[in-house]
């Protein structure tokens, strides 16, 4: 079975557990205002939404949904300051502890590139497994909404060659951010389409700034671009 690199999963948990700084950047950078608008448009009216890889950060207006469950590897309870219709709990994107067909919407925001395995193939297998889990917990007619950081095919060719070195570096104290692997949008769309039988893809407009490895970065100096993917369980 595919699975996350355990050391990298632990570093993911450590990096995002104290997420106030990350949440602040997501809340203020221009690119993420566009991301928020795109998500708000898609989730409005959801009855029961599962936010996989939530990390304790909401990149959208939680008031737009009736009930919301957020899961992540390190979440261990719902803070008292959150609204009554929100529940946070521990959960693994590759093995969700949720009932079949329990939700009418599943949301995955900047999650897939964090599902790092031992190599490119196992990372893609992890992505496919997470999509299968999302499909399982969606009711017929339920919708998947994915926002993912994608790169061009040329940039991916370079990134995959450097992936082993990046994984090794991320295991050291020199780097606080976990290793990630960003795929071209066409590969993500194909993985979603293979599971759901349908997928719609839309680039999200960027501003001047974007986050790379948790750091504010000029958009002009990175190939990463946010994309919106949606699909319906038939």
Q: Give pLDDT tens digits for 11-27.
A: 666 666 655 666 666 66
Question: Is residue 232 a contact partner of residue 196, using CB atoms and an 8 Å limit?
Answer: yes
The yes-or-no verdict on residue 89 having pLDDT over 70 is yes
Which whole number is the average pLDDT over 213-232?
93
pLDDT tens-place string over residues 99-154: 999 999 999 999 999 999 989 999 999 999 999 999 999 999 999 999 999 999 99
Quick one: pLDDT band at residue 1, thresholds 50, 70, 90? very low
pTM of the model: 0.92
Question: Is residue 195 a contact partner of residue 128, using CB atoms and an 8 Å limit?
Answer: yes
- Beta-bridged to residue 144, according to DSSP, are 106, 231
| DSSP per position, 96-146 | --S-TT-EEEEEEES-GGG---SSHHHHHHHHHHHHHHHHHHEEEEEEEEE
Specify the CATH number for 6-232; select among 3.40.630.10, 3.40.50.300, 3.40.30.10, 3.40.50.150: 3.40.50.150
Q: What does the domain layout of the chain look like in residue ranges?
A: 6-232
pLDDT tens-place string over residues 33-80: 999 999 999 999 999 999 999 988 899 999 999 999 999 988 988 988
Angstrom distance (rounded) from CA 160 to CA 2: 18
The yes-or-no verdict on residue 214 having pLDDT over 80 is no
pLDDT tens-place string over residues 155-197: 999 999 999 998 888 888 877 778 899 999 999 999 999 999 9
């Amino acid at each position: 079975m595919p699975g996350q690199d355990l050391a990298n999963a632990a570093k993911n948990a450590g990096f995002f557990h104290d997420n106030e700084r990350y949440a602040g950047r997501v809340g203020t950078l221009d690119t993420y205002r566009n991301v928020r608008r795109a998500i708000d448009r898609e989730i409005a009216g959801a009855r029961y939404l599962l936010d996989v890889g939530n990390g304790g950060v909401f990149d959208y207006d939680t008031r737009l949904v009736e009930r919301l469950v957020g899961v992540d590897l390190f979440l261990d309870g719902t803070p008292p300051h959150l609204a009554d219709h929100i529940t946070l709990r521990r959960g693994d994107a590759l093995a969700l502890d949720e009932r079949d067909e329990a939700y009418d919407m599943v949301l995955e925001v900047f999650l897939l590139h964090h599902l790092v395995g031992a190599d490119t193939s196992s990372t893609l297998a992890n992505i496919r497994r997470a999509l299968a889990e999302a499909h399982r917990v969606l009711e017929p007619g339920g919708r998947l909404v994915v926002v993912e950081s994608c790169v061009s095919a040329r940039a991916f060719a370079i990134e995959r060659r450097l992936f082993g070195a990046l994984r090794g570096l991320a295991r050291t104290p020199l780097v606080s951010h976990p290793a990630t692997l960003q795929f071209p949008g066409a590969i993500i769309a194909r993985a979603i389409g293979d599971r759901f039988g349908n997928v719609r893809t839309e680039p999200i407009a960027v501003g001047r700034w974007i986050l790379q490895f948790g750091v504010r970065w000029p958009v002009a100096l990175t190939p990463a671009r946010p994309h919106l993917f949606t699909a319906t369980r038939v």
